[in-house]
Amino acid sequence: MKPGSLDCHQHMIEIEDLSFSYGEQKVISGLNYTVKERDFLGIIGSNGAGKTTLLKMIVGLLPASSGEIRLFGEPVRKFKDWERLGYVPQKNAFNPLFPATVREVVLSGLYNNKNLIRRVSKAQQQQCDDALEVMRIQDIAEKRVGQLSGGQQQRVFLARALINHPDLLILDEPTVGIDAETQAGFFDLIMHMHAHHHMTFLMVSHDIDMIKNYLGHEPVQSNGKINFYCRHSHEAQDCVEENLQHTLV
């Protein structure tokens, strides 16, 4: 995070009259929404409603059929400041034979297409250690990722997304395939990050209980297929403190 780098309530994601079709199949139609700094936006919807498609458009992996998305005020097609954004896609899993260690995978979050680093500086090692610590996976840093459990792998993906200290973290069903206890710990952790680390979240989830408990029982917007639940920035400090003593300092 870059303290002081954001104006209060800056618009992080602006979605304007957005539509998307796969060929003849219209998936998203006339969607409007603005995610502001430190919002936690939860998206719930049935299978095939278009949630992943929406996230892929937001991170520039799919072009809109019409309408516009702006990230930090910049149209997504022109946006370059990807370090400000962390994205953990759906259904991540490493091939069991994938040879890289946890540390190597987390460090790879520092590299973008134009900036392939061969040697890792001391400062970058420290960034990596910090991300490992936040996700509580320091003790498995030298293990091969392919040999970890699903829950451990998910923590590695998150640490990789966190290494650049993103202002905005986008998660697509981050707890799929993870046991209930690990899920609860994971949600505690991201709620803590939201409340105390000045981050903005956009999370697709099928965990209706978690979404409603933290973000409120009524959606702030619904188009019948996709429901948006949101906890706004000014609410972020309260109420999570006492359940979260065990997550972060």
Ligand X SMILES: Nc1ncnc2c1ncn2[C@@H]1O[C@H](COP(=O)(O)OP(=O)(O)OP(=O)(O)O)[C@@H](O)[C@H]1O
**Binding site residues, ligand X, CB under 6 A:** 22, 27, 45, 47-53
The least CB distance from residue 154 to ligand X, in Å, is 16
Residue among 55 and 163 whose Cβ is closer to ligand X: 55
Residue among 25 and 115 whose Cβ is closer to ligand X: 25
Residue in the block written with tokens 């954001």: 6
Structure tokens at 198: 């000045």
The least CB distance from residue 21 to ligand X, in Å, is 9
What SS3 state is found at 28?
Answer: strand
Side chain identity, residue 202: L
> In this structure, are residues 55 and 226 in contact, taking their beta carbons and an 8 Å threshold?
no
Residue among 91 and 217 whose Cβ is closer to ligand X: 91
Structure tokens at 1: 């995070």
The least CB distance from residue 27 to ligand X, in Å, is 5
The least CB distance from residue 156 to ligand X, in Å, is 21
Distance between CA atoms of residues 61 and 73, nearest Å: 18
The least CB distance from residue 126 to ligand X, in Å, is 36
Structure tokens at 116: 């392939």
Q: Would you report the helix, strand and coil content of the chain in percent, each value rounded to 5? A: 35, 25, 40
Of 237, 245, 70, the residue nearest 168 (C-alpha): 70
Residue among 42 and 45 whose Cβ is closer to ligand X: 45
Residue among 72 and 228 whose Cβ is closer to ligand X: 228
Distance between CA atoms of residues 102 and 232, nearest Å: 34
